[in-house]
Amino acid sequence: MHHTARQLETQAEELPQRSSLFRLVLESVASLAIAVILFRTFAAEGYMISTGSMAPSLLGYHKQVTCPRCHYSFTYGVAYDDSVSTSHVNDPAVEGQDFQQAGQYATCPNCDTNSIDLAQVPRNEGDQLLVFKHAYYLKPPARWDVAVFQNPMKPTQAYVKRVAGLPGEAVQVKEGDLYINGKIQRKDLKTQRAVRLLVHDHQFQPAEDDFFQPRFLPVEADSTQGQNQPAPPAWKEQPDGVLFASDGNDADTWSWVRYQHWVRQGGHYQTEVPLEKWPEEIEKPEPVLAAIQYDELKQQLSCKGAMPAENCHRLLNQTEDDAFRYAVALLYEKSHVAPVLDRYAYNSGLENQTAIPVHDFLFECDLQARSPEGELAIELFDGQHHFRNFIDFKRRQVNLFIDDQKQPIRTGPLHSDFRSQPVKLEMSVMDRQVLFAINGELAYQPLLFSKNSEPREEIRIPLQFGARGGTFKLTGMKLFRDIHYTRGKALHGVDEPYQLDQNSYFMLGDNSPVSLDSRSWADGKVDQKYLLGKPFLVHLPSRQGEVKIGDHIGHIRIPDFTRIRYIH
């Protein structure tokens, strides 16, 4: 084959160009690989979490569950098993003793639907953490930081916990809170958001469920003018929230929406209603053993947990005594409004047999004020005090009141424009502190209050909000609770303060009922030499994708970009 001089010249030019392009790509790939190796060697390293001691902030092996009634999506922890490779067990942030094999049924944390079958729900791997290895060379850990560190008893294992106690401090977990040198430790708003646990999300309401009772419930309005008849509720349900619209004649009348912690069944709490006498035609219940009890001295009818509907109907059908029938119906209704407990939807239920009533809450919502007048109030109850924020749109200020006091204890200016677009409101009573934020900015200086000598009540109605005058729409209503630190094995820092030396830290897991941490280890402290670094990103997460081939359904790992997030 003959080639002209021009063809030979063209080929000679193409060969170096192709060679240069190939070399450029090869060098780029090699440089990237070297950069990643150097980055992971000297700056960051990846760890996978296997257990649920930090859930739901950070997830171990779990199943992603969607409630069949309200369609809220939540995670349920499961144990890693023999199918997990050795590299996953030895390398990640795992705790070889603090997990248990989970059951096959879950309970929705949002609407209390129980016995959700998990048999066909695939298992997902835990969160993968990217850890900045030199963070603590530059700056020591702060309280509430998430830290990765070596197990002092087995350095090949890495743990992930939250820093609770710092060098030289005396640490104690008491009544669910953290105390340092005898003083309660309060979280700022950013930390509260990082550790909060959902109690209820109004956006997820069970559909076609006649038995379900809404937890946000409009109540009859009260009046400052002493009206003989209460006004009808002015709050109206909307597809995405609730709407208050004043007619202009009720400027002095408050209308309220109350949160009641309604549950479907079960529980060990006690509910009582007054009843003067037990009907003669009905056999009296056996003391202690019967589902319903009557105390003649106190003239009280009571039951434990939520009264089953069949028990209610059986008693109603046995008599025509109106007083008794009213008491039974009232007891049935009241018994389904339960105390808020420190339950974790993530846990199987075996780990925390005795759920503890909680008192620390955070409420958030989006508010749009459609008129420049009127007032909105948000009230939280901590078991001892009622804290009520009044937003006065006419005077453009926020006032905080306690109980029945007539003078505000805190006052702040109102800067946001509520009419142009919704504004996020956040109010919390956590760690004996009141915070109120508008679009993430505190409206006034936090209110710190001391522990009362009297025990706090069980809380069945932790929240209510109300309005008078004006037109307001609330959407995105969510109620959260704080971590309630439990006793664990109570070896350190529970019954008495635990003194740290000048080089050690006290670590706690967010999932307190199941976490093995400084409360329960043989030695409660973690020396600073065991600190590996600060996790800052959940990266490369995956979930189980469904693949159907003929009649066979299988699962493969696919990326789950919704789980990529920075760690706080």
Give me the DSSP letters along 178-198: EEETTEE----HHHHHHH-EE
The residue to which tokens 């009634």 are assigned: 69
The residue to which tokens 């009260």 are assigned: 222
Cα–Cα distance for residue pair 403/408, rounded to 1 Å: 10
Check residue 16 and report its DSSP letter.
H
pLDDT at 350: 55
Residue-wise pLDDT tens digits, 260-274: 999 999 988 999 999
Cα–Cα distance for residue pair 160/141, rounded to 1 Å: 13
The residue to which tokens 């005077």 are assigned: 395
pLDDT at 102: 42
Query: Residue 87 belongs to what H/E stretch?
Result: helix 86-90
Beta-bridge mates of residue 257: 218, 465
| Phi, psi of 101, deg, nearest 5 | -65, 125
**Cα dihedral 516, 519, 525, 526 in deg (nearest 10):** 20
- CA-wise closest residue to 387 among 319, 321, 463: 463
Q: Is the pLDDT of residue 133 over 80?
A: yes
Cα–Cα distance for residue pair 471/128, rounded to 1 Å: 46
Q: Is the pLDDT of residue 12 over 80?
A: no
Mean pLDDT of the chain: 86
| Phi, psi of 335, deg, nearest 5 | -70, -20
The CA-atom distances, in angstroms, between 161 and each of 52, 235, 518 are: 11, 44, 10
Query: Residue 18 belongs to what H/E stretch?
Result: helix 5-42
pLDDT at 35: 43
pLDDT at 19: 58
Q: Is the pLDDT of residue 15 over 50?
A: no
Q: Is the pLDDT of residue 519 over 80?
A: yes
Cα–Cα distance for residue pair 354/342, rounded to 1 Å: 9
Beta strand extents in 284-338 (DSSP E only): 292-295, 300-306
Query: Residue 313 belongs to what H/E stretch?
Result: helix 309-316
| Phi, psi of 159, deg, nearest 5 | -110, 155
Pick the range with the lowest mean pLDDT from 78-82, 169-173, 183-187. 78-82
Cα–Cα distance for residue pair 160/57, rounded to 1 Å: 11
The residue to which tokens 């009348």 are assigned: 253
Query: CB within 8 A of 394, min separation 6: which ones?
Result: 372, 373, 374
pTM of the shown model = 0.86
> What band does 20 get if pLDDT is binned at 50, 70 and 90?
low
Which tokens hold the place of 234?
């002015």
Residue-wise pLDDT tens digits, 433-470: 999 999 999 999 999 999 888 889 899 999 999 999 99
Cα–Cα distance for residue pair 226/235, rounded to 1 Å: 21
Report the half-sphere exposure of 144 (CA within 13 A, side-chain side): 19
Check residue 171 and report its DSSP letter.
E
Q: Is the pLDDT of residue 99 over 90?
A: no
Query: Residue 26 belongs to what H/E stretch?
Result: helix 5-42
Note if the bond before 56 is cis, omega within 30 degrees: yes
Write the burial class of residue 447 (CB in 10 Å: 0-12 exposed, 13-18 middle, 19+ buried): middle
Residue-wise pLDDT tens digits, 356-395: 999 999 999 999 998 888 999 999 999 999 999 999 999 9
- CA-wise closest residue to 330 among 301, 305, 310: 301
What percent of the chain is modeled with pLDDT above 70?
83
Overall average pLDDT of the 517-537 stretch: 95
Query: Residue 332 belongs to what H/E stretch?
Result: helix 322-335
